[in-house]
Amino acid sequence: MKKQHSRPNILVVNDDGITAPGIKNLIEAVKELGNVVVVAPDGPQSGMGHAITIGKPMRFNKVDLYEGVEMYKCSGTPVDCVKLAVNKIFKGKKPDLCVSGINHGLNNSINVIYSGTMSAAVEGAIEGIPSIGFSLDDYAEEADFSHCLKYVKSIAQQVLDNGLPQATLLNVNFPKGNGIKGIKICRQANAKWAEEFDERQDPYGRPYYWLTGVFQNNDKGEDTDVWALDHGYVSVVPVQFDLTAHHAIPLLNSWTFND
Amino acid sequence: MKKQHSRPNILVVNDDGITAPGIKNLIEAVKELGNVVVVAPDGPQSGMGHAITIGKPMRFNKVDLYEGVEMYKCSGTPVDCVKLAVNKIFKGKKPDLCVSGINHGLNNSINVIYSGTMSAAVEGAIEGIPSIGFSLDDYAEEADFSHCLKYVKSIAQQVLDNGLPQATLLNVNFPKGNGIKGIKICRQANAKWAEEFDERQDPYGRPYYWLTGVFQNNDKGEDTDVWALDHGYVSVVPVQFDLTAHHAIPLLNSWTFND
């Protein structure tokens, strides 16, 4: 893909909802790089993964939150937002870049698969748009994103200038606070959540359950996103949506099925 | 993983909901192979992808639908069902096999990423359980699954006997009707949905949108799941949840960031 010569069109999405401070910071960071259009959920959609809305209809409305920024809210999921943006706003003329976030909370390692922020970026890539998801190691509503902004701009500019390899996108995570040592290109750490369910009783004596969990990383590799973040670096993981485990095909071909 | 010598424990999940004919057929197919426990959503959860329920609590109750089968319904997503099963029922002693489906509708190609059925199987694999998702090329409630059952048993038995390579699972799709030619091990076809949104007006004059779309396959490879299904074969794709695009790491390391 060649360097952009006209002012690029940039689609901004997230999963924390259109009023989240994270998306406001992301808009600030990229609006100098191109024409920004924002399509974001009308409320929090964290943990929605790659969900789409197929059993019920969606609302989709223009809103006026930040001066000079074209913005739309959607009752659907983060992935729905990307689909609506491509179909109803850009109408087949794809944006030059899709950025998602900045998420309140990390999306490193296996979290890429649960994250609405990352799934929106994955959907951008499926649509053929160079796409990046950004996340910060701070779940707080009042999280400080200021130290992320120069990295967001620099990485977005690189992607606008160079494009991305076909069918890949970037998963970018920021450590909390200042003192970032630089950017590391990483692989996804092989870690997982150990779930616990907090069982409570409703006022009528019936049980209900809150999902909680502990993040368990047994991957000691120094080339992982977990390592980079633990050591003060911005982690950048190239992500793909071909889920085929190509290496397993020869083994499966050696199996004998009773068919 | 070695051959099972005691009777294996089999977790059965789906995304069409606990009363779907597809899961009833799946239970029938695998109950001869081991002790079956069913945990399924209390209603349809198609297209939920890898969503988890984190903003609200869940209900989780034992139900008695089919004689002699231990069954639970859950108000959460297909992925929640797997997490609840592992944590609340198996309590750390993992099942020997997790099977998901049989889905009413194909989950070949890129559909693996939108599908609740496949995401439940992916979650099983993340939990370290050998896992398989099954889907049939028929969306109808009254779909005929009878021709699938011997393949379900055969593939499940192979996985019980041989295990699966670490961090992989199987995505199995069936053509509609009889006359299946056999099983083909495949890669995920490089196809996507071209979305269209059906815009309507509610009784108050406000617009709402239904997601619709057309499946577009430009991948002519004869090693794909789309090709196999089109030619009367059962497609079996090994799937992984490490989304790292490892091949893109050297290129990204050549970029210069303004950091």
HEC-encoded secondary structure of A19-58 = CCHHHHHHHHHHCCCCEEEEEEECCCCCCCCCCCCCCCCE
Nearest to B76 by CA among B141, B10, B15, B11: B15
Res B257: pLDDT: 82
Here the ipTM equals 0.94
Going from the first residue of chain A to its last (259 residues), give the mean pLDDT of each consecutive group of 10, the final group possibly shorter: 72 98 98 97 95 94 95 98 96 94 97 97 98 97 96 97 97 95 97 93 96 94 98 98 97 86
Distances (CA, A) of A223 to A124, A170, A235: 26, 16, 10
pLDDT value of residue A2: 46
Whether the CB-CB separation of A22 and A16 falls below 8 Å is answered with: yes
What secondary structure letter does DSSP report for B101? E
Q: Does A132 touch chain B (CB under 8 A)?
A: no
**Cα–Cα distance, A90 to A124 (Å, whole number):** 13
Domains of chain A in start order, with CATH, are: 9-189+215-253 (3.40.1210.10)
Residue range B94-149, pLDDT digits in tens: 999 999 999 999 999 999 999 999 999 999 999 999 999 999 999 999 999 999 99
**CB contacts < 8 A (A, B):** 242
pLDDT at A258: 67
CB–CB contact B47 A52 (8 Å): yes
Q: Is A15 annotated as a binding residue?
A: yes
The single-letter code of the amino acid at A58 is: M
Q: Which residues of B touch A158 (CB under 8 A)?
A: 255-257
B208-241 as b/e, with b when 16 or more CB fall inside 10 Å? bbebeeeeebebeeeebbbbbbeeebbbbbbbbb
**A131, A187, A211, A240: best to mutate for the B interface, most B CBs within 10 A:** A211
Burial A140-171 (b: 16+ CB within 10 A, else e): eeebebebbbebbbbbbbbbbebebbeebbbb
Q: Please state, in angstroms and rounded to a whole number, the distance separating the CA atoms of residues B37 and B124.
A: 14
CA distances from A11 to A30, A36, A127, B226 (A): 10, 6, 12, 31
Which of the residues in chain B have pLDDT under 50?
Answer: 1-2, 4
Phi and psi dihedrals of A61, rounded to 5? -135, 145
Do the Cβ atoms of A97 and A159 come closer than 8 Å? yes
Q: CA torsion angle for B88, B90, B96, B102 (degrees, to 10)?
A: -40
Residue of B32, B81, B113 to mutate for A, most A C-beta atoms under 10 A? B113
Distance separating alpha carbons of residues A61 and B207, to the nearest angstrom? 9
In A22-41, the residues whose Cβ lies within 8 Å of chain B are none
Amino acid B1: pLDDT: 45
Cβ separation A247–B165 shorter than 8 A: yes
Do residues A197 and B84 touch, judged by C-beta distance below 8 A? yes
Residue A46 assigned as binding residue: yes
Q: Which of B49, B209, B247 sits opposite A60 (nearest CB)?
A: B209
